[in-house]
Chains A and B, each alone.
With several copies, the nearest count.
Chain A
C-alpha cells in the first residue's frame, strides 16, 4: 500500500456510524475509499450537498453533480442538494463531525497553515477557514515531511488558515493528538522508531507510555 493510501486508511478508522464528514481535495478525498463496511458515514460536499457518492460510471455522468474540486461524482440515496449559504451554515454551525484536510504546516497549538505561501502560491482559503472553525473535529492527513522539510512545527511561520483548530494529525509515521500540553504521539507506524518520528518533527512530541502500533483494520 502506498503512503497516501496508508494515511487515508488510518484516518477512516476514526469515524463512527452516522458521522457527517467533509473531505478536502487530494489525499483526504481518498479517505472515502476506506470507510469500514460496518458503519455508515455521510459525506458533505461544500459546493452544496450531503450524500456524496463515488465517481460515476460513464453512463451516470451528470455535469451538475461534482465535488468541491469540480470533479464529477454521484450522490447516494437520501442525498440533499442546497445552496452555499446552507452548505456553510452546516459547516460553520458545528454540524460536521469531522473535516479532513491536508496542511503545509501544523504546530503544537493546533494552528494550521494550508492556504498560501506569500509571493509564491496564493490560491485562497476557499472553504477551509470555515471548515477548520466549524467542524467538531479537525483531522490533518498528510505526509509527515515535505521531501524532508519539516511540517509539524513548534510554531507555523506561514500565514495561518485557523488558530487552535487541529485535533489529530495522521501521517505515514504515526498519529499525533493535539492537546493543551502539546503534541502527543498516540500511535506509531512500526516501521519507524519514536526517535525517527521525533527527528522528522520540529515540535517536541509528548510520549505517554509506549505509543500504540498504528492499526488500519
Chain B
C-alpha cells in the first residue's frame, strides 16, 4: 500500500478526456507542481471542476491558457480573462455554478447522495432548466452530484497512509473533492510517517487519498 509516487507517475493517471477536480481558491491551496506538470504534459479535452480558474499565471489558470479544457465548471472565472475569452468565442464550454452549490454537488457525489435541495439561485437565470422541488411550501432547486475521474489536490501535511492536514484557508475544495473522484492525488508540502498526525486533527481521512506526491514547500 505504498501511495507515494513521483509527479510523472501522477500525471500518467490523468487521461485525455478525463473530468478532473482541482483544489484551491484563486490558487491558494492548489497543487501547483501537479498543475505545472500537467501543463507540460499537455493532456487534452479535459473537463475541469474547480472553484475558479485562477489567473493566467497562477494555479489552474495555466491549464486554461494552454487550452487543455473542453469544458469548465466553476463558480468564478473573473480573475482569468482567458477563460472569459474562450467562453465568449465558443472555444470552451463554461458552466457557472454558485460556490456553495458546487461544493454540495461534489459532496453529494462523494457521500452517496442523489443530490441536495438548495434555495440558492431560485428565480434567476441560473435556475433555468433545473428541477424545482417544493418541500413544506418552500421551493428549492434540485442539484445533482458531480463526480470526477481524478482529483488533484494540495495539503500542508500528510502521513504515508494519506491522512491530510491543511493550514489556513487552503482546505477549501481540497477536502471534499477527495471523496468524489475515482483517483485522488494529493500534493503535499510535508510528508510524515504513519502515526505522526494526531487522529483528532486529521482533516481528510487517508482512505480518500489514493496517491501522494511530495511537493515540498
Contacts and interface: CB of A to CB of B under 8 A. Distances in A.
Let me know if chains A and B touch directly in the complex, using CB atoms closer than 8 Å: yes
B100 A160 contact: no
Contact of A20 (B96, B125, B173, B207): B207
Interface in A65-106: 65-66, 68-70, 75, 77-95
Which of B29, B87, B112, B163 has the most chain A CB atoms closer than 10 A to its own CB?
B112
A1 interface: no
A69 B199 contact: no
Nearest to B145: A93
Interface stretch (A3-11, A30-38, A121-129, A204-212): A121-129
Contacts of B205: 50, 80, 82, 86, 90
Interface residues of B, number: 67
Contacts of A150: none
Given A64-B156, A78-B159, A130 B76 contact: no
B168 A64 contact: yes
Which of A85, A134, A160, A162 has the most chain B CB atoms closer than 10 A to its own CB?
A85
B171 A129 contact: no
Contacts of B168: 49, 62, 64-65, 81
Nearest to A128: B98
A46 interface: yes
B75 A163 contact: no
A75 B169 CA distance: 10
A51 interface: yes
B79 A70 contact: yes
A136 B98 CA distance: 18
Which of B103, B167, B171 has the most chain A CB atoms closer than 10 A to its own CB?
B171
Interface in B73-123: 74-79, 84, 87-88, 94, 96, 98-101, 103-104, 107, 109-113, 118-123
B99 A130 contact: yes
A39 to B, nearest CB: 10
A64 B167 contact: yes
A51 to B, nearest CB: 7
Which of A47, A78, A124 has the most chain B CB atoms closer than 10 A to its own CB?
A124
Given A84-B176, A124-B76, A89 B112 contact: yes
Given A63-B28, A70-B27, A160-B125, A92 B113 contact: yes
13 contacts: A49-B168, A50-B206, A64-B29, A81-B200, A83-B173, A84-B172, A84-B175, A90-B205, A90-B207, A125-B96, A129-B100, A129-B120, A161-B124
Given A78-B195, A129-B120, A133-B112, 13 more contacts: A64-B167, A64-B169, A78-B194, A80-B206, A81-B166, A84-B99, A84-B176, A89-B112, A93-B179, A121-B84, A123-B84, A124-B77, A133-B122
